[in-house]
Amino acid sequence: MADLSKEFEGSIHLKYRKREIIFVVTVLVLALIWFAVQKYLPTGNAGEVQITVGGEIYGTYSLSEEKEIPIRVENGYNIVSISNGVVRVTEADCPDLLCVKMHSISKENQAICCLPHRVVVRIIEGNEGEEDWIDSETY
């Protein structure tokens, strides 16, 4: 309790205050740099959907095709659908079903994950079918 009552009297040592401010500023700067690197680093065209299970590549599919992909894992399944350049998990039997409730993805590096099944569905660079996709998305 001793340290608290000191605080209530409003007499925190400036030296300690400074450490805290440095800590907060460091976190902020780190977050900004991290964000900027992701945002402004040149990226290719979102073209393919890569699915990994426990880090192993399960399959890679074109973003421009219309497809339903059933993923079988040790403890269940997820069904991924690719339609009009948008990817989502439509069905699963994981305990939380968060992967199904998650937003759909359509841009490079975006990802959907299902932690209980160790599944990551991620959009990566690819040139296959890129024209179709750009046409429908930007114009």
| Residue type present at position 56 | E
| Pairing, β 76-83 against β 56-62 | unpaired
Work out the burial of residue 98: count CB atoms within 10 Å of its CB; fewer than 13 is exposed, 13-18 middle, 19 or more buried.
middle
User: Which of 101, 60, 65 is CA-nearest to residue 82?
Assistant: 65
* 103: contact with other proteins by CB under 8 A: yes
**For other proteins, which residue of 61, 62, 120, 126 counts as binding (CB under 8 A)?**
120
Given a contact cutoff of 8 angstroms between Cβ atoms, the answer to whether 120 and 52 are in contact is yes
Binding-site member from 53, 105, 114, 121 for Zn ion (CB under 5 A): 114
Q: Could you identify the residue written with the tokens 């932690």?
A: 115
| Binding-residue pattern over the window 7 to 26 for other proteins, x denoting contact by CB under 8 A | xx---xx--xx-xx--xx--
CB atoms within 10 A of CB 122: 17
Residue 27, interface with other proteins (CB under 8 A)? Answer: yes
Q: Binding pattern to Zn ion, positions 45-84, x when CB under 5 A? A: ----------------------------------------
| Element of type H or E holding 37 | helix 14-40
Which residues bind to other proteins, rule: CB under 8 A? Answer: 1, 3-5, 7-8, 12-13, 16-17, 19-20, 23-24, 27-28, 30-32, 34-35, 38, 52, 54-56, 95-96, 98-99, 101-103, 109-111, 113-116, 118-120, 122
Binding site for Zn ion (CB under 5 A): 92, 94, 99, 114
